[in-house]
Structure 1
């Protein structure tokens, strides 16, 4: 009896030793492709702030908008659902590492009438209880490879979620900045309309005194109406941007978003950038590409192991009322094992290995492309912001010259030394430059938001997804 009780322990030890064999486990890959540059054209060695980048904008209004978007945005909720799907798939993939146990039972009652008997009928009752168990011994690591690939898919989906949050925060900030810019444009147009109307009144007064021609009146009136015609377009753009922002926040288009800020945010110096290698951890899209490459490696290991024999063990026991006292002696007798090996499948399994090998190559090239694209995007963002600052400084000089030219042309016109055309030309130039300055300052803020976006980071505030381990909740203990 004691020796028979040792059989399960011996069998379990053999299974564990066989399962430890994983000849197709993928080899480790380097953390980064060798084409990464040593540094950016401009970078600092200071550590990046752990706080959200939008705090640097100094706007409580923007903070509130992004917090709402990260909570209520529909697209982000879709990404959360995809993450839950990946987690469930990982649980399914890891289930093969454990035995499958099923119980069954049946009960039957029969009653037979006796012909001419005094008792009337004879009854009979029976029941059965049983257990069946099955388990695949993971000889070549097929099931383990399947689980590892599923876990990496979970982490890749988590990185996709972070990437969606990064993009969402940037999109909210961009819409908010554009709304501010359009509101400033409207204020400027209203101010220009007022000043141009004042000039028109003065010219009409001079015309009534026969000091100027009707052409001067018509030219100035054209300037007034041109500015007036721009205001409805700006108002429409404000409303369209408000609608887009409301949808990003998970709100109906006509919702009151309570946007009260009147000035464009002021951005400081360039933030600490670190090194290009830092993007491998900071950029969620890079992390996702790396995880999918590793998952493809494990899928290849699974396909190779699937070409080899599979060993499955099973146990079953069935008991009636008189057999319950033999429960622990009987189950060993029903233990069985079967070995299945592929002999001919017309090349299906070999073709699957070739297909997944090509998938691995595809993911490898995709990973390299994503990494180099990330470095390029940082360099592009740096170049845009640096050149934009230079452009704004040059535009200020142009503005100063145009303003002085307008003042001089107006003085000459008032003294009768020139007609109204030089005044009109300079007036239009100054007002165009004023509107352009607002656009260029908006572009500078947008470029800074773009820089924060391409630098990535784990600031999205989703700590729930920062540590997905191989717990029983996900795919069974490793």
Structure 2
């Protein structure tokens, strides 16, 4: 009778388990049907050129600059840390997905007991026990908690990869900007040195006129003052150049003073590059992609928190050989299969609070995503506006410089004819020389605004970056997935 009841109970339990499994509905994030951060359909300016997503700095046509950028991308300390964070995120992602697979552990035990008993039949008794076996465990993911954790870890990894891409874009832009500013400082040095020579010539002429009683001592003093003022402009320019070289060295992962840059002219921006549509920023800006992936990860975090409030079903199995001696170890064996259901009844509201916390994280990351999208759009519009108005500013400065040069020629003519004193000449000379230096700065600023535009538009060239560290135990596939060399089951995105 008992045997019959056991035979009937097994199919009944299996049937009940099958019904429970069929009734399970894994939690998944709700699909986002609306655009979280809608963008305008076009920028304020339009370009009919195709959108460029490659290495934009190569268009400047300077091989040395290309080498500086590539060196920085391979050796920059911030990128080195970013690669390390990516490897950490990859390991965490593998750990997050480990619950999808069974666990298998090897066990071994040896026990030696020696006892003594008094009496007629007393004596020393020695007992030994040897055992070896395997233990396996697996949690049936009834509600999708394990899957949600794995998806969250994968998305966090991909977001970290996008953060690395954003850092790489920043490094490339900073290297190009420093290079442009170094060339600008050198151009200023040449102009100031030329101005010093010009002022020295003016001073010699005035001193000659003074010796011939044609000019006054005041004219001489004023020109000496102007010469001293121009000479004082040179040290700050040289200092700034050295500081920029030091900053460039740091960007390239080298000590200050170890980087030299050949002289070159500051290029002027060509026609407006291809801008595409504002919606393209969602795919071309790594910071936007990272924010979107972080938001998706938070969505899966809510699913995991909700599933954690429901019972979990764990299956466990053990197989073990035992023997009193090593020679008889495999003569006796035992096999155990067990299932356990664990469900929360009272936890003081901990799991419910965890769901509320996860939903608040979603709200936070949704706000961060919107902010990142609109910041990206703003940066493009800012760069376009700066470049547009900078071009007009340079046109006005050029006209002002030409007018100042005409005024200087007229003032010199009147002064040599004895019609005016030296003050109009001095005023016109200072205006011309000040505008010459200003033009160098503003032409460089125009190119820096173009660099800002390239950075704001983003690109996909960072997808080809690889970890320069030989100690990396992960490789990033072309599609952004993790390929593990240690674990057969990589995390696929």
- Tell me whether the two structures share a fold, i.e. TM-score over 0.5: yes
* Cα drift, residue 109 of structure 1: 6.3
Partner in structure 1 of residue 4 of structure 2: none
- Secondary structure of 1:261's counterpart equals coil
Superposition map of 1:202-351 within 5 A: 202-255=205-258, 257-321=259-323, 324=330, 330-331=334-335, 334-351=336-353
Q: Distance in 1 between matches of 2:416 and 2:98?
A: 90
Partner in structure 1 of residue 401 of structure 2: 399
Give yes or no for the alignment of 1:165 onto 2:168: yes
Superposition map of 1:88-167 within 5 A: 88-107=91-110, 126-167=129-170
Question: Residues 397 and 22 of structure 1: is their aligned pair in 2 closer, same or farther, counting only changes over 3 Å?
Answer: farther
Q: Distance in 2 between matches of 1:46 and 1:147?
A: 42
Q: Distance in 2 between matches of 1:395 and 1:359?
A: 51
* Cα drift, residue 399 of structure 1: 1.0
Contact 2:317 / 2:337 at 8 angstroms: preserved in 1?
A: yes
- What is the CA RMSD across the aligned residues, in angstroms? 2.7
Q: How many residues align?
A: 460
Contact 2:156 / 2:293 at 8 angstroms: preserved in 1?
A: yes
Partner in structure 1 of residue 471 of structure 2: none
* Cα drift, residue 130 of structure 1: 1.3
Partner in structure 2 of residue 47 of structure 1: 50
Which of the numbers 199, 205, 216 marks the counterpart of 2:202? 199
Which of the numbers 445, 463, 469 marks the counterpart of 2:481? 469
Q: Distance in 2 between matches of 1:158 and 1:214?
A: 70
C-alpha distance after superposition, 1:81-111 (max 9, x if no partner): 0000000001111111111111111345679
* Cα drift, residue 283 of structure 1: 0.3
* Cα drift, residue 22 of structure 1: 4.5
Contact 2:110 / 2:129 at 8 angstroms: preserved in 1?
A: yes
Partner in structure 2 of residue 67 of structure 1: 70
With the length of structure 2 as denominator, give the TM-score of the two structures: 0.87
C-alpha distance after superposition, 1:305-363 (max 9, x if no partner): 01111111111122124574676xx53xx100111110111111111111111110111
* Cα drift, residue 201 of structure 1: 0.3
- Secondary structure of 2:382's counterpart equals helix
5+ residue gaps, structure 1, are 114-120
* Cα drift, residue 40 of structure 1: 0.5
Contact 2:93 / 2:153 at 8 angstroms: preserved in 1?
A: yes
With the length of structure 1 as denominator, give the TM-score of the two structures: 0.90
Q: Distance in 2 between matches of 1:456 and 1:15?
A: 52
C-alpha distance after superposition, 1:46-90 (max 9, x if no partner): 432353100111111110110000000001000000000000001
C-alpha distance after superposition, 1:143-180 (max 9, x if no partner): 10001000000010000000000000011111111111
Question: Residues 243 and 30 of structure 1: is their aligned pair in 2 closer, same or farther, counting only changes over 3 Å?
Answer: farther
C-alpha distance after superposition, 1:344-388 (max 9, x if no partner): 111111111111111101111111111111111101100101111
C-alpha distance after superposition, 1:166-208 (max 9, x if no partner): 0000111111111111111111111100110000000000000
* Cα drift, residue 240 of structure 1: 0.9
Partner in structure 1 of residue 357 of structure 2: 355
Question: Residues 19 and 356 of structure 1: is their aligned pair in 2 closer, same or farther, counting only changes over 3 Å?
Answer: farther
Question: Residues 470 and 57 of structure 1: is their aligned pair in 2 closer, same or farther, counting only changes over 3 Å?
Answer: closer
Q: Distance in 1 between matches of 2:249 and 2:20?
A: 59
Q: Distance in 2 between matches of 1:156 and 1:214?
A: 72
Which of the numbers 453, 467, 472 marks the counterpart of 1:451? 453
- Secondary structure of 1:338's counterpart equals strand
Q: Distance in 1 between matches of 2:204 and 2:23?
A: 93
Question: Residues 22 and 398 of structure 1: is their aligned pair in 2 closer, same or farther, counting only changes over 3 Å?
Answer: farther
Which of the numbers 33, 56, 59 marks the counterpart of 2:59? 56
C-alpha distance after superposition, 1:93-132 (max 9, x if no partner): 111111111111134567999xxxxxxx998764211111
